[in-house]
Amino acid sequence: MISTIYHDHKGRYGYRRITLELRNQGFLINHKTVQRLMKELGLKSLVRMKKYRSYKGNMGKIATNILQRDFVATKPNEKWVTDVTEFHLFGEKLYLSPVLDLYNGEIIAYNIQSRPTYELVSKMLDKAVTCLSEGDAPVLHSDQGWHYQMKQYSYALKQHGITQSMSRKGNCLDNAVMENFLVY
């Protein structure tokens, strides 16, 4: 019976799925028994390994880590941090892009969309710059997400006198304040 199920599914079913199939057919059998019998029969599922594939295409410009984990600001609009996060609400996937002012921990602007497009970040930035007063020139720190590497994003920051700063690759501690905010 195990061999029949295995071959009916072209070797794609492992012991767990075969156990479920047998139980659905009315057999009371333990998954360990199925695993042992499959081993004795020489039946092994064809498992496709999922490999990590980082983006290999043209990367945008990576900004210097100006913030250097110095999360203390002495005045409003001196240091901002941002990130993009995904969450689920009522079965729908949503993406949030907030900006947090390190002076008081306040979210000064945010944008929510159903897709993580560049518009998610650009609209957030449009809202954030409305908080700037004459002479404000904040540092805006982010990770190395693709949104923040785009030329349009860097250009928009320069237009508003904002200095771009990015975390080192794969180092979430460089943006710890925002990462901690997004956990809750």
- Compute the distance between CA of residue 141 and CA of residue 156 in angstroms, rounded to an integer: 14
Greatest distance between any 2 Cα atoms in the chain: 77
- Compute the distance between CA of residue 129 and CA of residue 123 in angstroms, rounded to an integer: 10
Q: Phi and psi of 98, rounded to 5°?
A: -100, 160
Taking only the tens place, the pLDDT of each residue in 98-148 is 999 999 999 999 999 999 899 999 999 999 999 999 999 999 998 888 888
Of residues 116, 59, 57, the one with CA closest to residue 85: 116
- Compute the distance between CA of residue 75 and CA of residue 34 in angstroms, rounded to an integer: 66
Taking only the tens place, the pLDDT of each residue in 169-180 is 877 777 778 777
Report pLDDT for 49: 44
Q: Which domains, and CATH codes, for the chain? A: 1-41 (no CATH), 79-183 (3.30.420.10)
3-state secondary structure at position 89: strand
Query: Tell me, what DSSP letter sits at residue 8?
Result: H
